[in-house]
């Protein structure tokens, strides 16, 4: 016997969803184009605007990279992880330490930072966030806030505030139609895209990835098919932290390493997460690029203002008008 | 297969089930019917491990289930399909089904996937579609299909007919009987008493958290007392 | 009931904590609280020795400590019969409100004068405390010129103010570029956008304008978020400026140097003004070759003064790190207070204040003469010096009387 | 009907707890009065540095009371209370420095400005139904925007901020006193006492009860006639106004304010941590929290100045006080989610019932 | 004259027709039972009447004025008050506080409020629980609290969503008595969703049967229970032979 049940489900819905995303991408693209055009008028110099766009995209890649781990944690566990920036700082210090101690190429320190941060992620989730005490949203926010203060000041206590720098061996500069691009930024950008794609592939095409999405979609349902939800949560948190580890190794030649460096990325990363839709790894990458552009264009539009101001304006608008993010679906 | 011994359960200080005794034999299709709020869903939630009993015992396959979470019980072959279906809305049909086989080997997954597609061809047609775009009937098929993917020895079904047009309800229940015929024990909770009783081997009638009647399915279907339990006449 | 008990317990706790704080002052503090006893003369030093400024704060505290030791070795305060001097230290944690309560604590502990505090916001607070208590406050490092516009009687500053440094920078730039045969005509200014950078850029613009140089473009940035300056440098390049002036902190200035190296604008010089990086040995090692020939106009220890060399050698030996200019300024500030006590022949803070105002102190930092405070409390003879990174070293290059070598007005790329 | 009512009030059965007093606020006012009376002589007893710590505790207290009204009673978790603190500080500083207006008037003006801004931010957040993390992030964004705008606005002196001019002698009207004067403490005590009194009044007013009901269950509250939007706005306005008092007094006491001190995220965090450690949603939680958090940095400073043997490696190191308060925050959230006061009060009332 | 009147009320959720073209009219002093199988749209109907949901089309009129899409609190203050099927007590308050809160909009003063609350609490038989946290109540108590809270708001129309569900038969009697008394003494109009037919039969003047979002039947209890469509909707259709094929 086969049970045939006629349905009234509108079959057009799936393609229309794709269409909607495309449409929104079109709108965003058009907005960006207009913004760039206005910037051109404002600045009067094509090369300056072009350099700004290139720099914005490259910096945005870095933001996307950092936001990826955060969006995963936010989307699956519903935790506003205020310690993400601090975890990044911890990973940076590990990377710096490894380079200092062994002379390893900075990118290769990923071999250390990724597993180390994965482990830190496991410990943090098991020790602080899972279980009864961490239940409510506010509590988790406060715990991760406490953790970030703890980590930052722990680093301060043991390594001091002196900024530390790691150079990229064989740094080169490339010319992209007149815009200058440092090799290290280009590699970091490529790394961000690669990591984003790898994460996306992992989520879409592996059993673990599907399980992570399943838990995000319906936790009780996941339990009912035999998934150990708490373990998936821990793994997700650890993977999110490991992303910060990867980001650290890619970004360490670009920044001065200080205990508080996470702060500057934390809030930007949250904006990126909300913009891209929480839990959406590719959204984080795209959101990162947009925020990178917004920052650069802000400095052209509003001379004398912090680039962060533009970021916050975009943030507030997105929160009010599309809290589910550019590519998320309203629930 | 499954025995409840003086099971009491509830939420917090609130007790909903009062010393429920119930038994489902191997390969049996047992219906649990009763009016809204009688405690049917709470019974299923207790059995599957979502709601720890306050008193009494649940014995599945000879072992006490005390302290075992749903994901552990699934590995033992006890699978629950809740009333809200708990599907992974953002996942495709096939992904939902594959997740259903989380505890199974790759080989079993492939064969079971085919079996489920055989049982519900519409799922095969729409294997790439995202679950949250489905209608109620399709979602219910997917939920049952997903449960079957785990290779259950016992299935707990909570109101598979909710939200379905009356015509569909019967088709759905027929699929349930089909599943029983493959050797899976089924505990079916239904508000739709007539139909449930018509396909069940045995049935229990629940009222205010207690079992008030039990007997063969056909026998209860004609029982005036069932009608009373519902309509309060 | 519960509430009251709880509060009582907590109240007791906080009183204990408070008592603990009091106890942290060296014993005997109460005895000479009025500053009139026979014990050592107390000088209070307020620096951020925890928090993100801790490295500099600690340097400065040590610099002050070395000054106290030097005074005691050379016989203490002669006018008080050789009484010893002791340093009472406090940690501001980089926070104004902590700075204020710690200043109060040092004063009630009998300090005849205070030095500090590295940060303008903290110094603003401490200057008020000093004024109210009528205790002199000699600032070692404090960039803000704002404090000296209130007519405070008890505030003094050893280092040149931000405006003075900027004026010197414009002057030196004009002269050095002229001498090199490539007179600076158009100067781009890149500055961080808080108080410090904006103030420096404003003053520079005015001074440069007076000397006939055109300033533009002026680009500001947020140092806490900026991660890449390629766009800004491209803008500078597009503007056709001859010189790039940078007023920033350490990290951002380093990033700017990297961006300059990437974009390679057509400049004759990169010039730091009150810059946090371009006269630091650390910048030389972090930036490597791309920092070569960078100029920086700033206050600085006097590398030509043998006393300074001796002091820095001692610091290096004792603490295993090069002594920074801030620490040398703290040294000078302690000397200023000691000279004030010497002059006054008294430990009464008000008398010490007048003593400081009259005193002349030979500084170990660059100056146009002995430290001498004007009516507004500023060091009349303070001066900025031009430094340049040459062959991997920071060297004083201008004005000629302070120069270790000649300026090399060119760029490395 | 009346008979049963009387009987239930008389309370004879052992199982049923006694009726609480008709006006529980009376007892809380009494406690407050005792606390204030006990605190009055403090500045005369304490050494002046500790007197300064005591004033700082009172500033923390006012901030935490303000935060608690919105986030504790109202359940709207604000991560941007620096906005209101800063508005209070800047309004009073601006009026005083630029226009010579008395700080008292400036304080009142700051309260009005902060309340108005709180209502605008609140209106949009509620209108667009921002909840939980999104609400918290939005409040954070607004505070940061204020910081950035202030930093680059010449109208309010940009990043330089304001230094309050020193006057000769002392004046209550100008809120300035000689060094070490107990007057600062007494003013802060009056303001803090007033804030706590306001919080007590509000909590037991019809509006306050509505607000708590809306926090517990918005739809249920609306369904028995609680005007939701109006009361949420009232709550954020009151919360903003009280926090502004802390900002205005801060400026007057420390005589200096700049954008980072006024609107920096550490201000928001201090308000949150103080209330959380003491106990969210209680009258006395912020009081307890302020005493602990306000004196913490001095306790650690003491510890570090003369550390015990086993901690000697910490001497001269930085960040310990923040680490302590981070650990305390994490432990309290994990182990006593109702804060120190909330948990103790629960324990005691439970024991009493048994 | 009808006190509450719905005409053409439609409500959709994501393509699901939760209510379609619902017409309903309740006169002053009437008691109307609303029945229907699970998912029939009964609670949605209440949500639309009380302003928790805005209908897609159609109107709700109360006492002569259009209240469609007005805020829940506005409708409550006008005298149309509801209870919730899943009990929603104010968790941080005691039973008495829960009740007096609902009276706040018409009674001022601590003493008068308390007297009013005490009276209502006694009326639903929760005296012993008055000063305990509401969360400590057992199911039956919470149901009574829902009722008490609604009563304290002085409703002209009381909308009750399954106040009897989860109560033991012995616990139902006093509630039913109270509901009857409400109409007799206070003249309150009652609309109640109920599954327990005995209660519906006993109390209702009229019964409205919802099925799949539409009004299936209206009439006196006897008429409705005799209606074969209603029996089908409740017990399900008889198995049809062709389905076995």
Q: Domain residue spans in chain B? A: 2-77+152-229, 87-138
User: CATH code at E162?
Assistant: 3.40.50.300
Residue keyed to tokens 């009750």:
E160
Q: Provide the residue range defining the domain that includes A90.
A: 46-321
CA D327 vs. chain centroid, Å, equals: 21
Residue E245: pLDDT over 60:
no
Q: Is residue E217 part of a domain?
A: yes
Give how many domains chain E has, as a whole number.
Answer: 1
Q: Is residue E125 part of a domain?
A: no
User: Is D144 at the interface with chain C, CB within 8 A?
Assistant: no
Chains in touch with A (3+ beta-carbon pairs under 8 Å) read B, C, D
Give the minimum alpha-carbon distance from A203 to chain C in angstroms, rounded to a whole number.
31
The minimal CB distance from D212 to the residues E71, E92, E114 is found for E92
D294 burial via Cβ count (<10 Å: 0-12, 13-18, 19+): buried
Q: What angle do CA B10, B15, B18 make, to 5 degrees?
A: 100
Mean pLDDT, to the nearest integer, of E20-25? 91
Closest CA to A251 of A104, A109, A102: A109
**Which pair of tokens denotes residue D189?**
């005590």
Strand ranges (E), chain A = 173-176, 179-182
The answer, yes or no, to whether A and C have at least 3 beta-carbon pairs within 8 Å is: yes
**Of E14 and D278, the one with more pLDDT:** D278
Distances (CA, A) of E134 to C210, D38, E141: 78, 37, 9
DSSP secondary structure of A21-83? HHHHHHHHHHHHHHHHHHHHHHH--HHHHHHHHHHHHHHHHHHHHHHHHHHHHHHHH----TT
**Which pair of tokens denotes residue E106?**
């018409």
Q: Is residue A60 part of a domain?
A: yes
Q: Which chain B residues contact residue A4 at CB under 8 A? A: 121-122, 171
Give the count of Cβ contacts less than 8 A between chain D and E.
115
Hey, which residues 228-247 in chain D have their CB within 8 Å of chain A? Answer: none
The answer, yes or no, to whether E and C have at least 3 beta-carbon pairs within 8 Å is: no
Q: Which residues of C231-248 are buried (b: 16+ CB within 10 A; e: fewer)?
A: bbbbbbbbbebbbbbbbb
Give the count of Cβ contacts less than 8 A between chain A and D.
118
Give the minimum alpha-carbon distance from A174 to chain C in angstroms, rounded to a whole number.
9
Q: Which chain A residues contact residue C288 at CB under 8 A? A: 167
Sign of the alpha-carbon torsion through A96, A98, A100, A106: negative
Distances (CA, A) of E180 to D15, D325, E120, E161, E190: 30, 60, 16, 16, 9
Mean pLDDT, to the nearest integer, of E76-104? 92
Q: Per the CB < 8 Å rule, is E196 touching B15? A: no
pLDDT tens for each residue of chain D, 354 residues long? 344 443 333 344 446 677 888 888 899 999 999 999 999 999 888 887 788 889 999 999 999 999 999 999 999 999 999 999 999 999 999 999 999 999 999 999 999 999 999 999 999 999 988 888 889 989 999 999 999 999 888 889 888 888 888 887 788 888 888 877 889 999 999 999 999 999 999 999 999 999 999 999 999 999 999 999 999 999 999 999 999 999 999 999 988 898 989 999 889 999 999 999 999 999 999 999 999 988 887 777 666 666 666 666 665 566 677 788 789 889 988 888 888 898 888 888 777 766
**Which pair of tokens denotes residue C246?**
């940078």
Q: Which chain C residues contact residue A48 at CB under 8 A? A: 231, 234-235, 238
Nearest CA in chain D to E95: D19
**Which pair of tokens denotes residue B100?**
């259903």
The minimal CB distance from E128 to the residues D2, D9, D16 is found for D16
Residue B133 has a pLDDT of 81
Interface test with D, best of A136, A316, A330 (most D CBs within 10 A): A316
**Structure confidence by residue, pLDDT tens digits, E123-148:** 998 988 999 889 888 777 888 999 99
User: Is B170 at the interface with chain E, CB within 8 A?
Assistant: yes
Domain C162-298+385-402 has what CATH class?
alpha beta
What is the CB-side half-sphere exposure of residue E52 using CA atoms within 13 A?
A: 20
Nearest CA in chain B to E16: B135
**Structure confidence by residue, pLDDT tens digits, B2-26:** 999 999 998 766 678 889 999 999 9
Mean residue pLDDT across chain C: 86
Closest CA to B140 of B108, B186, B173, B101: B173
Residue E244: pLDDT over 70:
no
Angle between helices D24-39 and C2-24 (to 10 degrees): 20
Longest dimension (CA), chain E: 72
Interface test with E, best of B10, B12, B13, B14 (most E CBs within 10 A): B14
Interface test with C, best of D33, D255, D283, D321 (most C CBs within 10 A): D255
Give the minimum alpha-carbon distance from E38 to chain B in angstroms, rounded to a whole number.
7
**Which pair of tokens denotes residue B111?**
């064969």
Q: Per the CB < 8 Å rule, is B194 touching E235? A: yes
Q: Which chain A residues contact residue C255 at CB under 8 A? A: 256
> What is the ipTM, given to two decimal places?
0.86
Q: Is residue E14 part of a domain?
A: yes
Q: Per the CB < 8 Å rule, is A149 touching D142? A: no
Q: Is residue E220 part of a domain?
A: yes
User: Is B23 at the interface with chain E, CB within 8 A?
Assistant: no
**Of E234 and B34, the one with more pLDDT:** B34
**Which pair of tokens denotes residue B151?**
């290779």
E interface with B, Cβ–Cβ < 8 A, is 16, 37-39, 135-139, 142, 162, 165-169, 195-201, 212, 225, 232, 234-240, 243-244
Residue C101 has a pLDDT of 81
CATH number for the segment(s) B2-77+152-229? 3.40.50.300
pTM of the model: 0.88
**Structure confidence by residue, pLDDT tens digits, C215-235:** 988 998 888 888 889 989 999
Query: Domain C15-160+302-358 adopts which CATH fold?
Result: Rossmann fold (3.40.50)
Residue C113 has a pLDDT of 95
Sign of the alpha-carbon torsion through D137, A211, B86, A16: positive
Mean pLDDT, to the nearest integer, of C366-377? 91
Backbone angles phi, psi at C167, to 5 degrees: -60, -45
Residue B233: pLDDT over 80:
no
Q: Is residue A176 part of a domain?
A: yes
Mean pLDDT, to the nearest integer, of C22-32? 36
Q: What's D70's DSSP letter?
A: I
Q: Per the CB < 8 Å rule, is C93 touching D297? A: yes
Residue D294 has a pLDDT of 86
Helices then strands, each counted (H, E), chain D = 16, 2
> Are A79 and A278 spatial neighbours (Cβ–Cβ below 8 Å)?
no
User: Is B163 at the interface with chain E, CB within 8 A?
Assistant: yes
Q: Which chain A residues contact residue D335 at CB under 8 A? A: 133
Nearest CA in chain C to A161: C52
Strands E16-27 and E2-13: antiparallel
Report residue B119's pLDDT band, with 50, 70 and 90 as the boundaries. confident
Q: Per the CB < 8 Å rule, is B233 touching E167? A: no
The CA distance from D209 to D228, in Å, is 12
Domain residue limits, chain C: 15-160+302-358, 162-298+385-402
Nearest CA in chain C to A51: C231
User: Is D205 at the interface with chain E, CB within 8 A?
Assistant: no
Interface test with A, best of B74, B90, B155 (most A CBs within 10 A): B90
Strands C295-298 and C385-390: antiparallel
**Dihedral angle over CA of D257, D260, D261, D264, nearest 10:** 140
The CA distance from D49 to E15, in Å, is 69
Report residue C309's pLDDT band, with 50, 70 and 90 as the boundaries. very high
Distances (CA, A) of A265 to A255, A274, A316, C225, C283: 12, 14, 17, 8, 24
Q: Per the CB < 8 Å rule, is B165 touching E212? A: yes
Q: Kindly calculate the radius of gyration of chain E based on its CA atoms and give it in whole angstroms.
A: 19
**D228: β partners:** none
Q: Is residue E235 part of a domain?
A: yes
Residue A2 has a pLDDT of 44
Give the minimum alpha-carbon distance from C151 to chain A in angstroms, rounded to a whole number.
31
Q: Per the CB < 8 Å rule, is C18 touching D291? A: no
* pLDDT < 70: residue spans in chain A: 1-17, 132-135, 328-331
Nearest CA in chain E to D213: E90
The CA distance from A182 to C263, in Å, is 9
Backbone angles phi, psi at E77, to 5 degrees: -65, -25
Instruction: Name the strand (E) or helix (H) holding C102.
Output: helix C96-108
Backbone angles phi, psi at B166, to 5 degrees: -50, -35
The CA distance from C144 to C374, in Å, is 17
**Which pair of tokens denotes residue C323?**
């002594």
The minimal CB distance from E165 to the residues B36, B166, B230 is found for B36
Q: Per the CB < 8 Å rule, is D260 touching C198? A: no
What is the CB-side half-sphere exposure of residue C291 using CA atoms within 13 A?
A: 26
**Which pair of tokens denotes residue C1?**
């009931």
Q: What angle do CA D269, D270, D274 make, to 5 degrees?
A: 115
Give the minimum alpha-carbon distance from E5 to chain D in angstroms, rounded to a whole number.
19
CATH 3.10.10 fits D2-8+48-353, yes or no: no
User: CATH code at A196?
Assistant: 1.10.3470
The CA distance from A104 to B172, in Å, is 63
Q: Per the CB < 8 Å rule, is B162 touching E38? A: yes
Nearest CA in chain E to B163: E39
Give the count of Cβ contacts less than 8 A between chain A and B.
120
Q: Which chain C residues contact residue A45 at CB under 8 A? A: 235, 238
- Cα end-to-end distance, chain E, whole Å: 54
Q: Per the CB < 8 Å rule, is D220 touching E88? A: yes
CA A179 vs. chain centroid, Å, equals: 26
Give the minimum alpha-carbon distance from A324 to chain B in angstroms, rounded to a whole number.
14
> Are C104 and D150 spatial neighbours (Cβ–Cβ below 8 Å)?
no
Q: Which chain A residues contact residue D260 at CB under 8 A? A: none
């Amino acid at each position: 016997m086969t049970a045939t049940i006629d349905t009234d489900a509108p079959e057009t819905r799936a393609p229309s969803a794709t269409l909607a995303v495309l449409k929104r991408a079109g709108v965003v693209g058009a907005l960006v184009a207009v913004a760039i055009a206005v910037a051109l008028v404002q600045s009067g110099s094509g090369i300056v605007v072009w350099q700004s766009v290139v720099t914005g995209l490259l910096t945005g890649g870095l933001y996307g990279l950092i936001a990826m781990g955060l969006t995963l944690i936010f989307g699956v566990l519903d935790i506003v992880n205020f310690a993400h920036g601090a975890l990044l700082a911890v990973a940076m210090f590990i990377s710096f330490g490894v380079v200092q101690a062994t002379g390893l190429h900075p990118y290769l320190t990923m071999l250390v930072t990724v597993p180390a941060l994965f482990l830190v992620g496991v410990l943090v989730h098991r020790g602080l966030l899972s279980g009864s005490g961490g239940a409510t949203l506010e509590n988790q926010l406060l715990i991760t806030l406490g953790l970030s203060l703890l980590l930052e000041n722990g680093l301060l206590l043991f390594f001091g505030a002196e900024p530390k720098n790691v150079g990229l061996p064989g740094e080169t500069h490339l010319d992209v139609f007149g815009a200058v691009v440092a090799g290290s930024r280009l590699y970091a950008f490529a790394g961000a895209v690669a990591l984003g794609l790898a994460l996306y592939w992992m989520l879409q095409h592996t059993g673990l990835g599907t399980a992570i999405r399943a838990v995000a979609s319906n936790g009780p349902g996941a339990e009912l098919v035999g998934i150990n939800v708490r373990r998936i949560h821990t793994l997700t948190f650890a993977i999110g932290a490991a992303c910060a580890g990867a980001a650290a190794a890619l970004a360490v030649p670009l920044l001065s390493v200080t205990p508080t460096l996470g702060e500057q990325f934390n809030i930007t990363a949250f904006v990126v997460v909300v913009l891209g839709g929480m839990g959406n790894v590719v959204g984080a990458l795209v959101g990162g690029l947009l925020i990178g552009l917004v920052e650069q264009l802000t400095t052209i539009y509003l001379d004398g203002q912090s680039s962060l101001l533009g970021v916050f304006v975009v943030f507030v608008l997105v929160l009010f008008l599309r809290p589910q993010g550019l590519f998320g679906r309203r629930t | 297969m499954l025995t409840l011994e003086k099971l009491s359960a509830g939420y917090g200080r609130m007790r909903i089930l009062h010393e429920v005794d119930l038994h489902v034999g191997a390969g049996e299709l047992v219906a649990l019917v009763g009016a809204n709020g009688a405690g049917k869903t709470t019974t299923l939630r207790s059995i599957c491990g979502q709601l720890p009993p306050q008193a009494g015992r649940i014995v599945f396959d000879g072992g006490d289930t005390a302290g075992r979470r749903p994901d552990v019980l699934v590995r033992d072959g006890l699978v629950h399909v809740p009333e809200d279906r708990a599907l992974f809305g953002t996942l495709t049909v096939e992904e939902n089904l594959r997740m259903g086989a989380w505890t199974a080997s790759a080989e079993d997954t492939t064969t079971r996937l085919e079996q489920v597609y055989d049982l519900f061809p519409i799922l095969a047609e729409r294997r790439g579609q995202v679950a949250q775009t489905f209608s109620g009937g399709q979602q219910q098929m997917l939920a049952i299909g997903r449960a079957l993917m785990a290779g259950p020895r016992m299935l707990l079904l909570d109101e598979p007919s909710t939200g379905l047009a009356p015509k569909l309800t019967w088709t759905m229940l027929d699929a349930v009987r089909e599943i029983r015929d493959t050797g899976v024990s089924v505990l079916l909770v239904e508000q739709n008493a007539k139909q449930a009783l018509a396909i069940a081997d045995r049935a229990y009638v629940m009222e205010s958290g207690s079992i008030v009647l039990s007997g063969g399915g056909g026998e209860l279907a004609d029982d005036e007392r069932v009608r009373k339990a519902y309509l309060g006449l | 009931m519960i509430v009251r008990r709880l509060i009582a317990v907590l109240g007791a706790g906080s009183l204990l904590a408070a008592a603990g704080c009091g106890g942290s002052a060296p014993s005997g503090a109460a005895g000479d609280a009025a500053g009139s006893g026979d014990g050592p003369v107390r000088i209070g030093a307020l620096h951020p020795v925890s928090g993100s400024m801790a490295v500099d704060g600690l340097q400065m505290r040590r610099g002050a400590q070395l000054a106290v030791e030097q005074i005691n070795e050379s016989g203490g305060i002669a006018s008080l019969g050789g009484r010893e001097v002791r340093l009472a230290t406090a940690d501001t944690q980089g926070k104004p409100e902590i700075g204020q309560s710690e200043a109060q604590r040092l004063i009630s502990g009998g300090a005849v004068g205070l030095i500090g505090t590295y940060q303008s916001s903290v110094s603003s607070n401490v200057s008020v405390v000093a004024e109210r208590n009528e205790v002199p406050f000699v600032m070692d490092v404090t960039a803000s010129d704002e404090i000296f516009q209130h007519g405070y009687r008890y505030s003094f500053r050893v280092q040149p103010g931000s405006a003075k440094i900027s004026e010197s920078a414009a002057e030196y730039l004009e002269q050095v570029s002229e001498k090199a045969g490539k007179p600076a005509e158009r100067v781009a200014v890149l500055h961080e956008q808080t108080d410090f950078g904006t103030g420096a850029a404003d003053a520079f613009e005015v001074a440069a304008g007076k000397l006939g140089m055109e300033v533009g473009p002026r680009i500001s940035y947020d140092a806490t978020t900026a991660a890449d300056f390629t766009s800004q440098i491209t803008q500078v390049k597009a503007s056709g400026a001859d010189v790039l002036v940078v007023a920033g902190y350490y990290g951002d200035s380093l990033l700017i140097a990297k961006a300059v190296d990437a974009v390679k604008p057509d400049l004759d010089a990169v010039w730091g003004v009150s810059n946090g990086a371009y006269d630091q040995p650390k910048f030389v090692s972090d930036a490597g070759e791309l920092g070569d020939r960078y100029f920086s106009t700033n206050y600085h220890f006097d590398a030509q003064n043998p006393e300074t060399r001796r002091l820095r050698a001692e610091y290096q030996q004792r603490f295993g790190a090069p002594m920074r200019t801030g620490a040398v300024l703290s040294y000078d500030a302690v000397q200023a207070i000691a000279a004030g006590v010497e002059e006054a022949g008294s430990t009464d803070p008000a008398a010490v204040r007048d003593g400081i105002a009259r005193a002349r102190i030979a500084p170990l930092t660059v100056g146009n003469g002995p430290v001498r405070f004007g009516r507004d409390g500023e060091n009349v003879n303070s001066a900025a010096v031009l430094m340049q990174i040459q062959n991997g070293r920071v060297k004083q290059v201008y004005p000629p009387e302070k120069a270790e070598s000649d300026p090399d007005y060119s760029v490395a790329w | 009907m009346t008979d049963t009512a009387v009987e239930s009030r008389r309370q004879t059965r052992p199982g049923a707890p006694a009726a609480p007093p008709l006006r529980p606020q009376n007892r809380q006012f009494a406690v407050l009065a005792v606390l204030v009376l006990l605190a009055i002589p403090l500045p005369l007893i304490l050494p002046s540095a500790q007197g300064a710590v005591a004033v700082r505790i009172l500033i923390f207290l006012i901030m935490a009371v303000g935060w608690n009204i919105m986030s504790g009673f109202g359940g709207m978790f604000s991560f941007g209370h620096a906005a209101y603190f800063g508005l209070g500080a800047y309004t009073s500083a601006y009026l005083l420095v630029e226009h010579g207006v008395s700080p008292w008037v400036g304080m009142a003006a700051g309260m009005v400005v902060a309340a108005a801004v709180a209502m605008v931010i609140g209106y949009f957040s509620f209108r667009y139904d921002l909840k939980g993390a999104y609400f918290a992030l939005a409040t954070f964004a607004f505070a940061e925007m204020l910081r950035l705008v202030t930093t680059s606005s010449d109208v309010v002196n940009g990043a330089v901020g304001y230094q309050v001019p020193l006057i000769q002698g002392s004046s209550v009207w100008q809120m300035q006193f000689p060094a070490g004067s107990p007057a600062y403490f007494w003013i802060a005590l009056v303001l803090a006492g007033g804030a706590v009194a306001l919080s007590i009044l509000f909590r037991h007013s019809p509006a306050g009860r509505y607000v708590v009901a809306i926090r517990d269950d918005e739809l249920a509250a609306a369904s028995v006639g609680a005007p939701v939007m109006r009361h949420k706005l009232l709550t954020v306005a009151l919360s903003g106004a009280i926090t502004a008092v802390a900002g205005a007094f801060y400026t007057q006491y420390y005589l200096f304010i700049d954008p980072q001190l006024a609107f920096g995220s550490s201000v928001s965090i201090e308000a949150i941590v103080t209330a959380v450690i003491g106990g969210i949603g209680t009258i006395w939680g912020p009081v307890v929290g302020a005493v602990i958090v306000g004196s913490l940095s001095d306790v650690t400073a003491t510890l570090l100045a003369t550390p015990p043997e086993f901690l000697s490696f910490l001497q001269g190191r930085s960040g310990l006080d923040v680490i302590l308060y981070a650990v305390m925050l994490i432990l309290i959230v994990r182990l006593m989610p109702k804060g120190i006061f909330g948990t103790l009060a629960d324990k005691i009332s439970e024991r009493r019932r048994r | 004259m009808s006190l509450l009147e719905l005409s053409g009320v439609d409500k959709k959720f994501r393509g699901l027709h939760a209510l379609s073209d619902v017409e309903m009219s309740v006169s002053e002093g009437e008691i109307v039972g609303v029945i229907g199988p699970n998912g029939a749209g009964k609670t949605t109907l209440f949500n639309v009447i009380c302003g928790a949901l805005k209908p897609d089309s159609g109107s709700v009129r109360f006492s002569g004025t259009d209240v469609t899409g007005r805020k829940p609190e506005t409708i409550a203050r006008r005298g149309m008050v509801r209870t919730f099927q899943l009990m929603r007590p104010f968790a941080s308050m005691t039973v008495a506080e829960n009740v007096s809160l609902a009276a706040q909009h018409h009674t001022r003063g601590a003493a008068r409020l308390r007297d009013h609350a005490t009276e209502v609490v006694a009326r639903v038989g929760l005296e012993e629980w008055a000063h305990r946290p509401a969360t400590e109540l057992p199911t039956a108590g919470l149901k009574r609290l829902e009722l008490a809270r609604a009563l304290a708001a002085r409703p002209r129309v009381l909308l009750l969503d399954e106040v009897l569900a989860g109560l033991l038969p012995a616990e139902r009697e006093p509630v039913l008595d109270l509901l009857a008394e409400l109409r007799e003494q206070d003249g309150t109009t009652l609309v109640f969703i109920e599954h327990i037919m005995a209660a519906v039969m006993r109390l209702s003047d009229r019964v409205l049967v919802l099925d799949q979002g539409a009004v299936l039947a209206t009439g006196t209890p006897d008429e409705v229970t005799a209606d074969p469509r209603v029996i089908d909707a409740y017990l399900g259709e008889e198995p049809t032979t062709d389905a076995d094929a």
